[in-house]
């Protein structure tokens, strides 16, 4: 199975995460996809394949050398809740000509809006029909990792360290690492395969947090309000 075939198979799964949910994973559909991936990893002959109750998958491809280093590759299974993730209908554009891409009668990817697509002129591009997300974030990463592992498994002449694989839920809603068992994963270092150009490596990132703040003002009758009334909006602006 090629990496494209694998990717097209994966995007058929609706794995939209839900920020309103308090469960892990936040949607049952992610667990359905996780079970499918677990089965594939077992069929590939990997060892220590596990899927925990929270939807985290781990597996190991043992080293074929005396190298004691363990390297990890991680990707996430969920897609963003900002747009529809159901009934994904991929379209393959062969030998992209560098022009605007019409997804449907209402939606067109314009080169003026997305000039970066010109970098892929002459290559094949996969899009949706405009009615859903594609899910390349991050099913492309999952497809890449599993296809690479399959290749290494078939080509034992390629020397490799121990390779750990980790697939996580709920990354799109900021919870991807919440229940990730770093000790169990056991990698000396790891890479997240999630977007970016071919050959690009990001080694730093910003950190962000979410806070819900209530600002209490003071309501006083306007006739007596001077130096007493406090506007909550103005306080929030100062904050």
- β-strands 125-127, 91-93 pairing: antiparallel
Residue 178 catalytic? no
Contacts of 229 (CB under 8 A, 6+ apart): 217, 218, 219, 220, 222
Tally: H helices and E strands in the chain: 5, 9
Phi first, then psi, for residue 6 (nearest 5°) are -65, -45
What is the Cα gyration radius of the chain? 23
Contacts of 143 (CB under 8 A, 6+ apart): 3, 4, 6, 7, 10
Q: Report which DSSP code applies to 79.
A: B
Cα–Cα distance, 7 to 227 (Å, whole number): 64
In the chain the first and final C-alpha atoms are separated, in Å, by 55
- β-strands 189-192, 70-76 pairing: parallel
**For the packed helices 3-10 and 136-154, what is the interaxial angle rounded to 10 degrees?**
140
Q: Any idea of the CA torsion for 125, 130, 136, 140, to the nearest 10 degrees? A: -50
Task: Pick the catalytic residue from 14, 150, 171, 172.
Answer: 171
Task: Pick the catalytic residue from 78, 138, 150, 170.
Answer: 78
Residue 171 catalytic? yes
- Residues labelled catalytic: 78, 171
């Amino acid at each position: 199975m090629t990496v494209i075939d694998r990717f097209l198979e994966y995007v058929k799964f609706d794995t939209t995460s839900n920020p309103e949910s308090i469960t892990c994973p936040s949607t049952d559909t992610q667990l359905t996809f996780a079970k499918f991936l677990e089965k594939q990893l077992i069929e590939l002959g990997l060892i220590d394949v596990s899927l925990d109750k929270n939807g985290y998958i781990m597996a190991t491809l043992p080293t074929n050398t005396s190298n004691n280093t363990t390297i990890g590759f991680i990707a996430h299974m969920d897609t963003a809740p900002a747009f529809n993730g159901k009934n994904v209908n991929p379209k393959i554009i062969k030998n992209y000509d560098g022009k605007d891409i019409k997804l449907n009668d209402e939606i067109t990817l314009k080169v003026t809006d997305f000039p970066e697509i010109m970098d892929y002129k002459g290559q094949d591009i996969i899009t949706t029909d405009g009615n859903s997300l594609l899910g390349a974030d991050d099913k492309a990463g999952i497809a890449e990792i599993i296809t690479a592992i399959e290749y290494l498994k078939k080509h034992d002449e390629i020397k490799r360290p121990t390779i750990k694989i980790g697939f996580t839920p709920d990354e799109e809603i900021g919870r991807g690492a919440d229940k990730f068992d770093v000790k169990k994963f056991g990698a000396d270092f790891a890479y997240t395969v999630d977007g970016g150009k071919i050959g690009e490596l990001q080694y730093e990132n910003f950190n962000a947090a979410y806070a819900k703040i209530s600002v209490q003002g003071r309501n006083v009758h306007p006739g007596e309000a001077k130096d007493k009334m406090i506007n909550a909006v103005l306080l929030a602006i100062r904050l």
